[in-house]
Structures are given as C-alpha cells and as structure tokens.
Chains A and B, each alone.
Chain A
Amino acid sequence: MNSAFTQSFGSPTRREIVDGIVSAMTTAGWSVISGSGTGDVMMESATTPASQSLKMRARIYDPGSGTDARVKIRNSGGTIVQSGDFPLVSAAGRVWRVIANKYQVFVLAPGLFNAPCVFAAWGVPFLRTALEGVVTECVWGWGSSNSTSDASNIRPCPRTFMSMWINFSTPNWFSIINGSSWELNNSNQSSGNIGLPMIFAPWTANMQHSGYKNSGDLNPSSYRYHDDTPLASEPLLAFGAALATEAKIRGQLWDAVVLSEAYGADRTFAFDSKTFYNITHNNYGVTVDTPRASLLVMVP
C-alpha cells in the first residue's frame, strides 16, 4: 500500500490525519477493532505466518486538542501499551504518505526532513526460522519527535539515520519483546543506553572510514563495490529488551532493503521487479558513529 492524502488548506484538522492513516491501513490489511468512523480508531495488524504468529495494535487518534494527531501502539492483548505517542502535526495543505503492508506502517510527510512530528513507523517484524517459537511477541515503533510539544528538528529515526546513535538528541521509541517493553521519549541518551534500536547496514569493519571524514570533507570508503554500486542487505532490526540492555536482532522489516548509499528521500527505485521508496534522506553517515545507508520500502 502506498497512498497519499492531503490536509485541507483552509482548516486542516487532526482528524484528517486519523482518517487518512486509518483508510490506508485498512486497505493494507489491518482490521478495525473499535472506533470505526470516529476520530479514535483501534486497529490490528494481520497475524504473521503461523510459524511466527506475531501481531500488534495501533491506536490512531485525535486527542481533541493540540496540534497533532497521535499514534499509540500496544500488543494485541492490550496488556502492554505505549505510554507516550508518535505525534504527527497537522498543517494546511500538508501531504502525507502512508506506505503500509499488513504487518508494518510508515507514515511520513514527503519533502520534510528537518521538521518535528512528520514521521512515524511501527510494525511486527519477520522472524528467521531459528527464532520462531523463541520470539513470541515483538512490536516496534519509531517516531521522529519525542512529544507533541517537541519543536526541534527531526530526531534520529529511519528518515535520517539507521540508528539512534549515542550522544544524539532524544528520539521516540517503543518496543515489546516477549513481554518486556520500554520506551524512550523524554530522557537524554547516555553511553549506557546500549539497547537503543538500530537497523543493520553494510559497513566496513573500519569505522574510521565510514561516512564523512572528521572535518566534514566527504571522503568515505568501503561502502560500495568496484563498479560503484551499493551493497544491499536485509533490514535487520536490533533493540534491547530494555534501554540499558544489549541490543539484539529481533527480526527483519518486511518489504524493505537497506542500501549502502545516500540518496535523497522520497525517490523511488526499481529492482527485483518491484518499486522501492527511499525513506532515508541523504544519510552519508557520520564517521565512526553510523554508516552511510538508506532504508527502502516496497511500494506498488
């Protein structure tokens, strides 16, 4: 599913965002649990294949006041619920794009890379065979802003980087793994936060030569093949069972691929007989901290 909706120019509302996302998710295969036709809708993903059996719920809602529509995710039983939200700010004439499948959703405002509350993504991942029956519950959610009042530029998320690397501004994250959940949306990061999420990307074992050089001189290496084509890898998602516990690979994003090159966001690429949409904007990486890479998701 790849759909766009535009908020009204005259009187944009939070409800427009709710309706647009709910409509797209329904088309992608999510089901409405409650609140159909209202500004507060609970939706549930499809269940991943029987050997994995993962599913989740997302509440898409207009809080009744403020500037943002909100997404609040939870497990399907409703026993583990995100305390915060992923806010999406309403604006006149704003175009929103929803790229979704029955297990996973990306919501973004095309062309906006340094603005608050313009990106959120959530889903249940694909599990490799060895983790079937071992990972029995897994939900992830990642936003670009840490609160509805967050006026800062975009926080580290797949719109900008492949990870919430340390010493960066406070992002927005919620995850569940086999009954353990945590979220980060209102505290500063520290070197002890080894559970922060990251998407695996092709990277040289020599981090000194990833991304930009120290002085900002664009001089990276070991990120592409001899013929200048980028490396491609599966988008493995790693995060801790808690903020300060070891990040481990829990699963893989659906309908997605990581390329070891930087591209302008919102471009599309054709390969593998499909069309892929680049989520990540001009991610040249940061020397020693995070690699040059882009997350692409399949669109029809």
Chain B
Amino acid sequence: MPIQYAGGTNVNTTFSNSGSATRREIVDGVVTALTSAGWSTISGSGTGDVLMESATTSQGLKMRVRVLDPGSGTCAQLKVRNASNVLAMSNALFLRPENSKTWRVIANRYQAFIFVPATSTVARDFCGFGVPYIPDQFASKIYDCIWAWGDSNSDTDSSVRACFRKVLAANGNFSTASLFFVVNGGSWENRNGANQANSAQGLPSLVFPQASAGQNVGSTTGYRWHNDEALMLEPLLAFGATSALDEAKVRGQLWDAVISTESYAKDATVTFDGLNWWNLTDANVGISRNTSRGSLFVVAP
C-alpha cells in the first residue's frame, strides 16, 4: 500500500506553557491545534474540558477525544472514546505542564501527535491517537477503529514507557504506557504498566517488511539498501481487538506517515514526495532479537 494522505489541513504548530505552567494552557493549545487540523468541538468550547471529534474518513471512521484539565493533579489529560461515547478510555493520556515548556502538535483531521521537541527521556511529554486508514480488502469489516498511545501510564508516572518516541512496538522488554484501542464494538486499555509480559501478544506494534533475522537485525545489519538508503514503508499498525492478550492483527495504517528503517535523531526533518516530514522516534537503532530499528515520520508542514 502507498502512503495514505489524510487530505484537509496538516497542522504543525507549537504552544508554550507560561511561567505559571497550567494544565489549562495545554488544553487550550491542543484544542486550538486540533481545530485547525479539522477536528470539531462537540462540547465545552472555551472551557477546560473540551470534547472534540475527528473528521470522518472515507471509510466511515471517526473518533472523539476529551481534552481536559481535571482540576487537580499534575497533568492535562486526553481521554479517547468512540464517536458514540459507548467505549471510553478510563485512564488517560497524560501531558505535564512545566514552566516555559514548548509543545508541538502535528495533526491532521484523523490523527494527532502531541509532544515536547528535543526531549524523549521525560515522561508525560508525548502522546498520539487517531483512526487509521483501513486497507480496501477489509474496509467493510471494520466500522470502528481507534488507537491511542501515550508515553506514561499515570498522572505521576516519571518513567518514559514504550511509545513511538522511543520504539516502533510495545513488548515485554519495555514497560508499557497508557494504551487504548477500539475495534468494532470492543475496546481495551492498558493502565499502570500492566500486561508487560511477553505473553501480551496484543500489544501494539508497527508491521513492515524487514530483515528476516532477529539476531543483530537493525542494529548492525539488514536494514538498508546497497547504496545505504533506508527503506521507506507504510506504517501498518497491529494490536489486539479485545485485550492485550488477544492476537494483534494489522487493523490499519497511520495517516500521513511513513516508516524509515534507519535510525535518526528525534525531531529530524526531511523532505520527500514534495512534503516536509518530522521524525518522532529518537535514535531507535533497534535491539537484537527484540525490537526493530526504525523511525516513524509524519507529515509536518
């Protein structure tokens, strides 16, 4: 499959916490960015508790996200749900305000990434969510599909967990972050670092053609062409449908995104296909017999 472009408006914008560093500032900044990207406000406009809805994909998928200042605690929160409000995240994606911290939002009408540039080792500084593109072969079989993935699992979590800022998959060798998934009327989420065992086959990962040898793969061999160019591949996202113990299957593809099989510093930008792209994944050289080398780039005008 080729790269799937969302169309509409691509947003690449920043906002900053003031010296007061409030949760509300994050809410306002995220809401403004999502609005610019084509998300609509369902309720709470102008407040610290805003429910927003994505555009509807050509395949009929959409989602909602509640962006809120919970009134106490450390972080602003994003709580993902389906459009009918039947399946909702009980945990949240956490974003921690800090004096003069700059946030970046890279979003389109179906998907968003929110993170702090130049850092990848501080928790509660990254999250992503969206509805994917569904391959034609089973587009008629999916009527509800949502993914959400943060870098931490609680309001006070100080550890960066497995997420696209660090790796291209969650597995038992990385403590798991806040996750939420919806597939056709079912949902599950990971909270408080649960389901970290290797038996958690439903944990999310990107799937792509790569070297068929786990030993040394990516870290030293089997990741680029003869002329040292990396492969550029569609970011197919797999996750379990009912729980972290359910077989992960490829549910869809991220919009305006591509995987490079090379490792790059976080926030590196490149130009190809007439567009500017932003690397979300920090220096991911892979781990032998564990996780793949590679970087997730997203369109960032």
Contact = CB atoms under 8 A, between A and B. Distances in A.
Interface of A: 128, 130-131, 134-135, 161-167, 177, 191, 194-196, 198-210, 213-214, 219-229, 231, 233-234, 236, 238, 240, 246-250, 258, 288-291, 293
Interface stretch (B75-83, B104-112, B204-212, B262-270): B204-212
B173 interface: yes
Given A199-B212, A222-B238, A205 B291 contact: yes
Given A204-B238, A205-B206, A221-B202, A250 B226 contact: yes
B138 A219 contact: no
Contacts of A214: 198
B225 A248 contact: yes
Interface residues of B, number: 55
Given A166-B215, A205-B167, 12 more contacts: A134-B226, A165-B212, A202-B209, A204-B205, A208-B171, A221-B238, A222-B248, A224-B250, A226-B141, A226-B252, A249-B225, A290-B213
B212 A227 contact: no
B212 A291 contact: yes
Interface stretch (B14-22, B38-46, B216-224): B216-224
B209 A236 contact: yes
A250 B167 CA distance: 27
Contact of A131 (B220, B226, B247): B226
A220 B201 contact: yes
Contacts of A135: 226
Contacts of B150: none
Contacts of A131: 225-227
9 contacts: A196-B213, A204-B169, A205-B167, A206-B171, A207-B290, A225-B135, A225-B137, A238-B211, A289-B289
B172 interface: yes
Contact of B212 (A128, A198, A209, A229): A198
B211 A198 contact: yes
Contacts of A202: 207-210
B172 A208 contact: yes
A199 B167 CA distance: 23
B291 A207 contact: yes
Chain B residues touching A, majority SS: loop
Contacts, number: 180
Contacts of B217: 207
B236 interface: yes
A293 B297 CA distance: 27
Nearest to A207: B214
B210 A221 contact: no
Q: List the 10 closest A-B pairs by CB distance, nearest first.
A: A206-B169, A162-B212, A205-B168, A205-B169, A221-B201, A233-B209, A166-B215, A194-B221, A227-B138, A205-B292
Contact of B249 (A166, A210, A226, A234): A226
- In the complex, which of the residues B138, B141, B212 has the most CB atoms of chain A within 10 Å of its own CB atom? B212
Contacts of A163: 211-213
B251 interface: yes
Contact of A224 (B201, B212, B220, B249): B249
B283 interface: no
B294 A248 contact: no
B289 A288 contact: yes
B122 interface: no
A132 to B, nearest CB: 11
Contacts of B135: 225
A250 B228 CA distance: 10
Contacts of A231: 207, 236, 250
Contacts of B215: 165-167, 191, 289
Given A165-B215, A194-B216, A288-B290, A206 B205 contact: yes
Interface string B225-257: 111110100001010100000011111100000
